[in-house]
A and B are shown apart, each in its own frame.
Chain A
Amino acid sequence: KNQVEQSPQSLIILEGKNCTLQCNYTVSPFSNLRWYKQDTGRGPVSLTIMTFSENTKSNGRYTATLDADTKQSSLHITASQLSDSASYICVVTPGREYNFNKFYFGSGTKLNVKP
């Protein structure tokens, strides 16, 4: 069964600290993995997208890694800011053999950055 599991469900850190969010998936074949940031009561916004051949991709203080062999991805946030408080959602798209519009969403990690 194709699934996307995220951990932890929620996380509280102090402003300025680093944190790492995890995403494990069983989706196969794999096309790409995207991380979204969703502020409370808002729509998700894309942070990064990674394909099979990419191991690391950065977007400012956000760095995503992908290990396609173990089907794991992580999102590392450096020097956290209060504005990083949000839910972070991992989304996996299966390969071309599957429904081209099928996306597998994780349930998200809710990050709370405290001053």
Chain B
Amino acid sequence: DGGITQSPKYLFRKEGQNVTLSCEQNLNHDAMYWYRQDPGQGLRLIYYSQIVNDFQKGDIAEGYSVSREKKESFPLTVTSAQKNPTAFYLCASSIASGGYNEQFFGPGTRLTVL
């Protein structure tokens, strides 16, 4: 059963804590992405990776970090430097980078800062 998974579905964080959101895909896709979704706004790109051991900052990378040690995995760490982290986080993958390639999205993680 191929697909892209994210965990956990819901995550609660105290202020000052770092948290890591998991994203795994078994689609054999090279490219992976992290987006943030806030009410009334379009998705905003946090980080993307075109290939293993490589990643690039998106439009709103401040306060976030990623790694891409394996093709299947692209975890996102929300650090205490992120001033307003409460949001819905979406991970996506595509067979290769480039706008014509369909992005497949995971089910999302809703992060709430208490």
Contact = CB atoms under 8 A, between A and B. Distances in A.
Interface string B59-96: 00000000000000000000000000000001010000
Interface residues of B, number: 25
Nearest to A31: B99
A94 B40 CA distance: 23
Given A41-B108, A43-B92, A105 B99 contact: no
B45 A103 contact: yes
Interface string A60-98: 000000000000000000000000000001000110000
Nearest to B42: A105
Contact of B100 (A41, A42, A93): A93
A104 B92 contact: no
Interface string B28-69: 000101000000111111001010000010000000000000
B59 to A, nearest CB: 9
Interface string A37-70: 0000111111001010000000000000000000
Contacts of A49: 100, 102
A100 B42 contact: no
B99 A94 contact: yes
The interface size bin for chain A is 20 to 34
Interface string B5-25: 000000000000000000000
A110 to B, nearest CB: 10
Contact of B99 (A42, A93, A107): A93
Interface of B: 4, 31, 33, 40-45, 48, 50, 56, 90, 92, 97-100, 102-103, 105-108, 110
Q: Which 5 A-B pairs have the closest CB atoms?
A: A93-B99, A43-B105, A105-B42, A105-B43, A107-B42
Interface of A: 4, 9, 31-32, 34, 41-46, 49, 51, 89, 93-94, 100-108
